[in-house]
Amino acid sequence: MNSPMPNRRLVLRLLGVVVGMFAFGFALVPIYDVMCQAFGINGKTSGAAYEGAQVENSAREVRVQFLATNNIDMPWEFKPMADDLVVHPGGTNQMLFVASNPTDKPMTAQAIPSIAPSNAAAYFHKTECFCFSQQILQPGERIEMPVRFIVDKDLPADVHHLTLAYTLFDVTDRVPPVAQVSPK
């Protein structure tokens, strides 16, 4: 037999490939998150507060629209205080969202933000957001939750209109607390 490599070593190498590819499958998770944030795939925004400062470009106007959607099991009232806001890129803005728990049990909620058009997501910076942490409301409790954001001054010129959509999920029964699992 003209074995270039003994079976044993070959099999071990191939098993190495198998283990490597299994790990690669899991590595795709953080790789995907990085790609999403870099290219705004799926309208994902950064899960961390934006630290930078920008100069306001008062010559340009962008309309930011706010949507609030409840996931199917979520009985809370959840809505923005206004449908939209016209902002200047570079400037800091704030919008309040109202949430109330109509049930007779304390509940925990997590809001998940998403931006349309998705290529604008990388240009939308939240300096403060209720979506960075979970919200716990007692029965009948109502809160106003702020999101403060900057639309990047380099927002592509063809984008005149941004939509910031939140979906509210009931995470009361989820253990461990999901905030730790969400991107940093």
Span 40-69, contacts to another protein by CB under 8 A: 40-44, 47, 63, 65, 67, 69
86-125: which residues touch another protein (CB under 8 A)?
Answer: 100, 102-103, 110, 112, 114-120
Residue 102 token pair: 């109509």
Quick one: 25 or 55, whose CB is closer to another protein?
A: 25
Q: Count the residues of the shown chain that bind another protein, applying the rule CB under 8 A.
A: 77
Of the candidates 71, 138, 140, which has an alpha carbon nearest to the alpha carbon of residue 108? 138
CA–CA distance from 15 to each of 4, 11, 22, 61 (Å)?
18, 6, 10, 57
- Please, are residues 112 and 133 in contact by the beta-carbon 8 Å criterion? no
Residues 164-183, interacting with another protein (CB under 8 A): 165, 167, 169-171, 173-176, 178-179, 181-183
- The single-letter DSSP state of residue 160 is -
Q: How far is the CB of 3 from another protein (least distance, A)?
A: 4
CB of 53 to another protein, least distance (A): 27
- Residues 13, 51: Cα–Cα separation, whole Å: 46
Q: Does 30 bind another protein (CB under 8 A)?
A: no
